[in-house]
Copies of this chain bind each other. A is one copy, B any other.
């Protein structure tokens, strides 16, 4: 239904979104006061607050965070850079992160780096362009990316690892120590012929190194190894298992780079008529939700993703308030969970 007034309204007030000024006019205060109300309601008088609240509702005002960010040089956004989404061992961490950030009124820019440093660099550039309050990265860095990360005003947080000299902050754990712990555990269980399935990345490499180091130190025998692409996926299991069977001597335990791959190996082993762990034991990594739900349940290394998220976010908050960070690296540790598969 079209009434005469409609066109007039359209002329007087075009398709433009209402702005702070509109709200201010409507509430009979200045734009500054409305801004204050939005960012920190308790600094305005209760009666004023009420009028502003009403004006916002009446005008259907939606703040413009681009303008706000430009003026304050705080974007209320953090960039999260991860390699993949599918079968990703980080998903729990990321999910926790996104939720914690949402609770703090901060949004997340998601970047998928794959294994490409070039893509990583571009994403860091994008994050800096958007003046992200922080950049949380679990991907691989090279020299250029480090440089970029250094220079930008955004807090740079590396998660899931602990480099010797972190750029901004690192929240992670020692992959080498995790590898060693697994070795010790397998020795204690009496396994003698471990097979390592290592993803083609530095973190997995460190775990394998740690494992072998400790295994040898404890007088263990020979270790066989296989390599898979990043990330360690369920789908790799077929080839890995097929290769396994061609070894001179079957291993008695397979150490995987992720619970998904471990799950895949269990499936393959069972399909081939083997019993897990009796004929072949399997160790996962990450304590993804499936690990405790698989049959048999999967022995794995738990990383407290929620804790990583919390620490990262606490640091972002501090950094946002201009405080210095108490530490450059936070070790959240890990925990070996012995279940049925090994």
Contacts and interface: CB of A to CB of B under 8 A. Distances in A.
A112 B125 CA distance: 24
A342 interface: no
A237 B263 CA distance: 15
Contact of A289 (B65, B86, B130): B86
Contacts of A86: 91-92, 95, 288-289
State the oligomeric state as a number of copies: 2
Contacts of A233: 289
Centre residue among A66, A85, A129, A234 by max chain B CB count within 10 A: A66
Contact of A60 (B98, B112, B151): B151
Contacts of A293: 234-235, 237-238, 264
A87 interface: yes
Contacts of A274: none
A94 B87 contact: no
Interface string A84-112: 11110001101100110010000111111
A131 interface: yes
Interface in A215-268: 233-235, 237-238, 264, 267-268
Categorize the interface residue count of chain A.
Answer: 35 or more
A96 to B, nearest CB: 10
A130 B112 contact: no
Given A67-B70, A85-B98, 18 more contacts: A60-B151, A65-B130, A66-B75, A70-B70, A77-B130, A80-B110, A84-B95, A85-B91, A86-B288, A87-B289, A95-B112, A98-B110, A99-B112, A102-B112, A107-B130, A233-B289, A235-B293, A270-B270
B95 A85 contact: yes
A290 interface: yes
Interface in A117-161: 119, 122-123, 125-126, 128-131, 151-153
A234 B66 CA distance: 41
Nearest to A67: B70
A234 B108 contact: no
Interface string A281-303: 00000001110011100000000
